[in-house]
Every structure is written in C-alpha cells, then in structure tokens.
Amino acid sequence: MRKICVIGVGYVGLVTGTCFADLGNQVTCLDIAEDKIEKLRRGEMPIYEPGLEELVARNVTAGRLIFTTHYRDAVPHADFIFIAVGTPSGVDGEADLKYVRMAAESIAETLTHYAIIVNKSTVPVGTGDSVAEILIERGKQPGVDFDVVSNPEFLREGSAVYDFTQPDRVVLGATNRDAADQVAQLYLPLRCPIMITDLRTAEMIKYASNAFLATRISFINEMAAICERLGADIKEVAAGMGMDKRIGRAFLDAGIGFGGSCFPKDVKALTWMAEMNDCHPQLLRAVMDINRDQRRRIVTRLRELLGNLRGKMIAIWGLAFKPNTDDVREAASLDIIHILQAEGAHIRAYDPVAMETAQRVSRDIVFCGDAYAAAEGADALVLVTEWNEFKQVDMARVAAAMRRKVLVDGRNVYEPAQMRALGFEYRGVGRGY
C-alpha cells in the first residue's frame, strides 16, 4: 500500500485521489477550502461527476480515503504528493500559477523525508523546474531530498472516473528516470500504455493535445458556416470525413463550440507561451476566434428570425458547458445569455444539473423546474447543451406551449424536417438552409 497525498479536491484532484484509493492505496486529499473538506467529510460532493460519490463513499468506509485542510497531517506521511490545484487564466491568457506556488511552498515547509512531487495540474512548460526551485529554497528540513515528476491529466468532465480507470495512456516526465518509474508503478494495475519522457516534453504533451482537439472543433464549425452558405449538411459532411481512418470521427460535431475549464484556458496559455518565445501562433489565435464567433452566430440567427430582441422571451435549454457536469466555466450559455440580455431579451432557463452553479454567476434569469416550463410562452428556444433529457422531450408539447415556434438547435440534436413538420422555424448549425 502506497501513501499518497493529493492537493486540491476539484475535478482532477478528487477523482485522482479517490481512484488511487480504489486501487488499494492510502490516500489523503488536502484542500485549504474548509467548506469543501467539510462537505466531503459529510459525504457530500463539492462537484458533480457521475459515479464519483459512490466511489468516495466506498473508499472512505474502507479507510483508504481521508480528507484534511492541514499540510502537516498529510505531507510528512506521503510517499507521493500530487499537486492538482487550479491554474486559471491570467490577464493576458497566461496560466496563473499562484496556487501551484502556494502548494509547493507548503510542501517545502512540511516535507520531512524523501518524496516524489507529482505535478498533475496543467502547468506551463518549465513549471516542473520552478517547483523544484521552490522546494529547495523554502525547505525547512536540511538534507531532505525529493524528485519532481510531471504527470499531466487527460480527464474529461462527465466521464472522469472512466478516463482515470481506462486511460488511453499515462504520460510521465522526469529528470530522474527512477522517480518516473516509481510513479508508473501506481498506474500498473490499469494495464495501460505508459510514456516516460523529460519534464518539459510531458508538460507540452498536455497543451498540444488540448490545442489539437480544440482545433478540430473550430475546424468543423468553420466548415459548418461554409455549409450553410453552400447548401450542404455538416452532419453528413462530418460523417463522410470520419470514415477516413486518417481523420476519424471524434470531435467533429458542429455546434456552439468548446468551453469548460480546459480547452479555452489551455489554448490561451499555449498562445501566450508561443508569443513570449518569439513564435507566431496564428492557428491557435484562429481557433479561439472561431470559437468566440460561433456563440455570436446563435444571437445573429435569433435576430434574423425574431427581428429586434428587446422584450422577447428566450428559452435556454442547457447551462453547463457540456452534458454530465455542473460546470459553467467558459460555458457558451453564459456568453449567449449575456448578449441577449444586453439587447433587452428576457431569459428563461433550465439545466438538469447546473442551475445552482449558474445562479452564482448569472443574474436576471428565470430558472425553471423542467424543460417544458422554460419553453412556456417563449418567443424562441435555444438548445445549448445536448443533455440526453432534451433528446427525449415531447417537442409537439413544446411547440404548443411556445408563443412563437422558433427553435435554434445549437448542437444539431433534432432532425430539421421533423421539427418543421411540428411547425417550428428551425435553425441548426451548418444544416444547409
């Protein structure tokens, strides 16, 4: 049984710590946010992630998973210390490393024996070296040795537990190969490919992976805009492209674009790193521009269908940036709502999970109890998040409840012909009008 400390109980830290405990390790999850730790001690989840609550409860009961707010309770006993704190965007798009630095300083002050410090947070290239410098400069116990390993995460919100237990690969970067091998031992029960490289390459793999996936999304959305002008159907185009083994079908669904805590932040951070090192990341800039414009296109469609939006009632289905999460960070819904409200529209919204989260950051929205209530009396309905619940809604009932039957399908969930047969003025994304 290995003793592991995981710092941070967000999506990455809590999933990582819980899954390592489920593999038979002794895990202490540490966070300085007392409210989050108290919730976890009561068996309440600070985040929504399918399957996680049951996994936490099982390992707490088994005594393999505990929670604390104190470094002195976790660091002195740990063989591996994972840093899994947030790295939000700074003013110019750079990754803000204040939480990483705070964690490294606290580790240095409480480390009493050799341990392997593992950077799980998404951090700029070179952060592994910076963490090592902090540990050397701030260490309180003379002669205490350590190694730093980069272990970028590839967890998708909404399927994070599956992604941890069934990974495509585990990437490890280190100066000391033996330290990387020791971290690799933690992952051996998963029977997945393990790639070991140097620190900076491992850090770059994470950014390059997310930037490429974001690029695919922006590419297909740009194709969708062209399809609309030329009368082609982007869903069929994507299906035909995806049959080519060189291309594949993943991340080729046209829609409102990407959001969440990873893709926007990481593309901005990689762009900033490139610019600071005399590179010219035109493609990365275009990826972000297309993503921003895709959200504005939704409002443009509403103007085309409704005219002046002042006083119009717009129903929004879906607030989370994707299904199976309550996360609204960089969510398309919030940008669309903000623009609509600026033009004088009134908003009624429903999301199966994310309404409580959205209420903390949005104002003057009527939050409804279900999809039908949100559509009641609306001049237009915009589907933003493709929750399965919305795929099963009685759209005839929805049409009857609306004041005007305008449907903007931001995720191409519905078939245009069927919706028009129900009387909707239907607009999807790239469906060849």
Closest CA to 391 of 352, 348, 340: 352
As to burial, measured by CB atoms within 10 angstroms (0-12 exposed, 13-18 middle, 19+ buried), residue 378 is buried
The two tokens of residue 83 are: 């840093």
CA–CA separation, 368 and 315 (whole Å): 10
Closest CA to 172 of 158, 185, 155: 185
Q: Which one of the listed residues 5, 227, 262, 368 is annotated catalytic? A: 262
Pairing of strands 406-409, 26-30: unpaired
Q: Report yes or no: 113 and 76 within 8 Å, Cβ to Cβ.
A: yes
As to burial, measured by CB atoms within 10 angstroms (0-12 exposed, 13-18 middle, 19+ buried), residue 276 is exposed
Q: Could you give the residue ranges of the DSSP H alpha helices within 231-369?
A: 234-242, 263-276, 282-306, 332-342, 355-359
Q: Report yes or no: 225 and 297 within 8 Å, Cβ to Cβ.
A: yes
Is-catalytic flag, 279? no
Phi, psi dihedrals of residue 100, rounded to the nearest 5°: -65, -45
Residues with catalytic function? 262
